[in-house]
Structure 1
Amino acid sequence: MPFKKLHADIQEKLTSLEIVSPTPFQNKAIPVIKSGANVFCNGPKDIGKTTTLILTTLQKLKCIAEGNAPRAIVLVKNKEKAVELYDLFLKYTKHNSLRVYLSHEDLHIDLLKSEIFEGLDILISTPSVLNKLLLSNGLSVSQLKIFSIDDAEFLTGNTPYTALLSITRGIKKCQYVLYSETMHPKLKRFETSFMEYAKKISV
């Protein structure tokens, strides 16, 4: 049972949220993501992909704050998705020390840079903002452990696709996990860049 092998703080939080057993998708995906491999996770809505993203991120960071640079980045389509995911993360990090930070287009880049400098563990961002932060040296990725992409279909558009390729070129070593409903041919192309030797989970 994947939940039984997660950090004790995560198990306690799941119990408080009355989440008792993993979905079939989570049974398959969590052990593979925990192994450290790059993973394409495919399946329809409401099978637990976003919850899996949150749980495996917390597991990777051992539920404790450390350092100043982000150790996890979560990429999303737009501001609305970023806010939604930020609120979900807060439900799971309420009683631990992990610092979750939200960035999107409505926030000035200089404000983002100054607040990020104060220290964070998990950064939720859109492709364009994340790319701007990296190009302006407003973000260090030297401590990055896991980079997840939620509902990755938006990357089939040329602008976010190009932004992501630019972002990943600046990251030396990191685990990538990409969640989508289907394996779009354009997403599969990432295998030749940052998704090397990726495993595939689908239900």
Structure 2
Amino acid sequence: MSNNTPFSALGLDESLLQAVHEAGYKQPTPIQAKAIPMAMTGRDIMASAQTGTGKTAAFTLPILHRLSQMRASSAIRALVLVPTRELAIQVHKSFLTYGAHSPLKSVVVFGGVDMEEQIKTLKEGVDILVATPGRLLDLMGKKHIALDSLRILVMDEADRMLDLGFQEDIARILQKAPVKRQNLFFSATFSKDVKQLAHEFLRHPVKIEIENPNSAANTVTQSFYPVDQQDKPEILSYLINGGKWKKVLVFVRTKKAANRVAELLEEDGIDAQAIHSDKSQYLRIRTLEDFKDNYFTVLVATDVAARGLDIEQLPLVVNYDLPKIPQDYIHRIGRTGRAGQSGRAISLVNPEEKKLLASIAQLINKPLEIEPLPYIEEGEVRPADITEPFSKAKKARAKPGFRNGKPAMKPHSRQGQSGQRQGKGGPGKNHTGRTRTSAPRPKTTGRGR
């Protein structure tokens, strides 16, 4: 199909076309145009496309269409397995959006929240279940979920499933599912392990690939700056202030680093919050919603947020640390430049990360060049050479506004002996000054909007 193919040409049910139109979409993305008609035939699919190209709708729409053609049932007929809570919430929202005019009921279950509430919802009947493997197995073990009536199984972000060690959990789940079913396998990257997993549970699949699955979307401009590790907090603050950035997602490797970087940015006068797996699910949802609503500037995240974060009009992603798994680089920067919009990804690279940078370049089959730091006049700072320790390569003149050749930031300080800092809004308020009460519970079920 051509790029000008309208959704109306895909053969979708009229109720779905109405929901798609109301969501503001007129034409399917390439992965949607290829995957939707094929999935509607009942064939197994092995599909790959760059992050941010519309993979979720490529399976939610045909699932809704196929189930709408079947006899009504209160049993689970479609199961979507996802690796993270954030992605589970995003996929469920997609079912709610496109199923707005459908009687089909979708439910999402994941760990980190009250199981009893989920059990209560499941008892009311489910057509489509979105689940993380761990919570699904828990509920299956307690006899609250049965897969006897399953007709369609989707594995989304299969590469991340393997990265997180879910292979045994997946095998246990598949043992409880009917052999006769449709399997839809979606992944942004296709490693050898991913291909092996696909071989084990797909039957004569139709293979759909959009461009190079191991590359970032061409809507994302990538930049790499040489920075000593100890200088990264200062340089990050400098880039945010110098570039007048209003909304940026920063990725770090560890939970401790996420908290620390957020603290240092706050001390430099930049509104920042951290999100990682030690935060409660309700707090993570609340923080993410605040970020989407522009209540603060910088969201600092571990790779728990690299999959499943769907943030409209996110202009910037920063790799404060390069990921140890090259494929994670693709997923990180795929948070920007989504749905055809332009985006930018900036990576701060220290000398010890040279091998990681080389691995990323090899994966995406593209040379990655180190660039000088922006916003600095020639002669003020000489960017470090990636081939040698930066501290030795960096030479700068002592000029006002710079300390030892680096952009001068205001001194970091601590309030109180405990090291706890009080938010800008004062006691009882968060960083935005908004009074916080209890965290809102995420919706776990919906029959349309």
TM over 0.5: yes
When structure 1 is superposed on structure 2, of 77-86 and 49-58 the one drifting more is 77-86
* 2:46 aligned with 1:40: yes
Q: How does 1:150-161 map to 2 (within 5 A)?
A: 150-157=156-163, 159-161=165-167
Deviation at 1:65, TM superposition (A): 8.6
Name the SS for the 2:165 alignment partner: helix
When structure 1 is superposed on structure 2, of 150-159 and 35-44 the one drifting more is 150-159
CA separation in 1, counterparts of 2:135 and 2:15?
A: 31
Structure 1 residue aligned with 2:145: 139
CA distance 1:91–1:65, shift in 2 (3 Å): farther
2:79 touches 2:154 (CA, 8 Å); kept in 1?
yes
1:52 maps to a residue whose letter is A
2:186 maps to a residue whose letter is Y
Name the SS for the 2:68 alignment partner: coil
Deviation at 1:171, TM superposition (A): 0.9
When structure 1 is superposed on structure 2, of 87-96 and 116-125 the one drifting more is 87-96
1:196 maps to a residue whose letter is R
CA distance 1:191–1:16, shift in 2 (3 Å): closer
When structure 1 is superposed on structure 2, of 62-71 and 156-165 the one drifting more is 62-71
Choose the corresponding residue for 1:98, options 100, 104, 124.
104
CA separation in 1, counterparts of 2:55 and 2:166?
A: 21
Structure 1 residue aligned with 2:204: 197
1:127 maps to a residue whose letter is P
Deviation at 1:192, TM superposition (A): 4.2
Name the SS for the 1:176 alignment partner: strand
CA separation in 2, counterparts of 1:171 and 1:153?
A: 21
1:63 touches 1:97 (CA, 8 Å); kept in 2?
no
Deviation at 1:202, TM superposition (A): 0.4
Structure 1 residue aligned with 2:408: none
CA separation in 2, counterparts of 1:3 and 1:128?
A: 38
Normalising to structure 2: TM-score of the pair? 0.42
Q: Deviations along 1:97-128, whole A, 9 cap, x unmatched? A: 11111101123445433431220111111011
Q: Deviations along 1:13-59, whole A, 9 cap, x unmatched? A: 12222311222222211122112111111011222211112111111
Structure 2 residue aligned with 1:31: 37
CA separation in 2, counterparts of 1:111 and 1:48?
A: 31
* 2:137 aligned with 1:121: no
What is the count of residue pairs matched by the alignment?
203
Name the SS for the 1:182 alignment partner: coil
Question: Which one scores higher on RCO, CA 8 angstroms, separation ≥ 6?
Answer: 1
Choose the corresponding residue for 1:18, options 12, 21, 24.
24
Q: Which has the higher helix share?
A: 1
2:92 maps to a residue whose letter is Y
Normalising to structure 1: TM-score of the pair? 0.89
1:101 touches 1:123 (CA, 8 Å); kept in 2?
yes
Name the SS for the 2:166 alignment partner: helix
What RMSD over aligned residues (CA atoms) do the two structures have, in Å? 2.1
* 2:73 aligned with 1:67: yes
CA distance 1:191–1:64, shift in 2 (3 Å): closer
1:51 maps to a residue whose letter is A
CA separation in 2, counterparts of 1:174 and 1:110?
A: 29
Deviation at 1:64, TM superposition (A): 8.3
Decide which structure has the larger Cα Rg and report it: 2
Structure 1 residue aligned with 2:188: 181
When structure 1 is superposed on structure 2, of 120-129 and 144-153 the one drifting more is 144-153
CA separation in 2, counterparts of 1:95 and 1:167?
A: 31
1:65 touches 1:99 (CA, 8 Å); kept in 2?
no
1:134 maps to a residue whose letter is M
When structure 1 is superposed on structure 2, of 190-199 and 39-48 the one drifting more is 190-199
CA separation in 2, counterparts of 1:95 and 1:46?
A: 25
Deviation at 1:11, TM superposition (A): 1.1
CA separation in 2, counterparts of 1:98 and 1:63?
A: 11
When structure 1 is superposed on structure 2, of 111-120 and 6-15 the one drifting more is 111-120
1:178 maps to a residue whose letter is F
Paired-residue identity, %: 25
Name the SS for the 2:201 alignment partner: coil
Structure 1 residue aligned with 2:83: 77
CA separation in 1, counterparts of 2:191 and 2:29?
A: 23
